[in-house]
Amino acid sequence: MKVSLFVTCLGDLFQSDVGKATVEVLERLGCDIDFPESQVCCGQPAYNSGYVKESKEAMKRMMKAFDHSEYVVCPSGSCAYMFHEYQHIFKSDPVWEPKAKKLAEKTYELTEFIVDVLKVDDVGAKFEGNVTYHTSCHMTRLLGVKSAPMTLLSNVEGLKYTELPGKEQCCGFGGTFSVKMGPISEQMVDEKVQHVEETEAEYLIGADSGCLMNIGGRINRKGKPIKVLHIAEVLNSR
């Protein structure tokens, strides 16, 4: 099965290990991975900030970059959802709407792809530690991926899981929301960190790098001994 990696901006600039882990997990599961080098930002930050016209240029470039792909897999529910949103943004455009629909039909978040497409529940990972899991907003509420991450984590040998209180609550990141509404975002992430502490987990795991960067940053500023990991890194542990 041929898979194109959509690594995302955060994966490219700040969390390259997440991209590497994604590739290694998928290769062990028999996938042939390629990386379209012409990929850029999916346009989500600009689009969510109201710069619709400007963001469309990035979107068109992404549709061209992944036009050849059989499957597109992304280690970020938020960015994967943005590819699905293209078909609504380009609705009634005779040239780009068909391309947007084509891209949406073959784009998956990492855990969704492993469980729903590859039909794998256990990737053979081993990870010792007490963990909790942050369910990111875009991934669960918009993309609709809820059970796949938990299915995979439940089969990781040595992992002990505790459900996060208030797991449905936003961490306060929200892309540009955390910049525009800093004081409110800070209160939201403080509440999230408090809930993580309540679980007594050693590790906070998530599937969206933006959320993990936000929560992890607050954990570090508060000097809490909690490590933050992307689910791809856990699934790649042996």
pLDDT tens sequence across 191-221: 999 999 999 999 999 999 999 999 999 999 9
Give pLDDT, residue 178. 80
Q: Return d(Cα 160, Cα 153) in angstroms, integer.
A: 9
Closest of 33, 55, 49, 22 to residue 152, by C-alpha:
22
- What's the mean pLDDT when you consider all of the chain? 95
Task: Tell me the whole-structure pTM to 2 decimals.
Answer: 0.95
Q: If you average pLDDT over residues 101-125, what whole number do you get?
A: 98
Is the distance from CB of 193 to CB of 218 less than 8 angstroms?
yes
Mean pLDDT computed over 93-112: 98
More confident residue, 171 or 120: 120
Calpha distance 64→75 (Å, rounded): 20
Domain with CATH 3.40.50 in the chain: 121-235
- Give pLDDT, residue 220: 95
Given a cut of 90, whether residue 181 has pLDDT beyond it is: no
Banded model confidence at residue 138, pLDDT cuts 50, 70, 90: very high
- What is the C-alpha to C-alpha distance for residues 36 and 69, in angstroms, rounded to an integer? 9
Sheet of 227-230: strand order equals 157-161, 126-133, 203-206, 227-230
Task: Give residue-wise pLDDT tens across range 152-167.
Answer: 999 999 999 999 999 9
Closest by CA to 209, choosing from 159, 173, 164, 178, is 173
Structural contact between residues 160 and 129, judged by C-beta atoms closer than 8 angstroms? yes
Tell me how far apart the alpha carbons of residues 166 and 190 are, in angstroms, rounded to a whole number.
Answer: 13
Please give the pLDDT value at position 174.
81
pLDDT tens-digit map of 51-78? 999 999 999 999 999 999 999 999 999 9
pLDDT at 175 over 80: no
Which CATH number, 3.40.50, 2.30.30, 3.30.70, 2.60.40, labels domain 121-235? 3.40.50
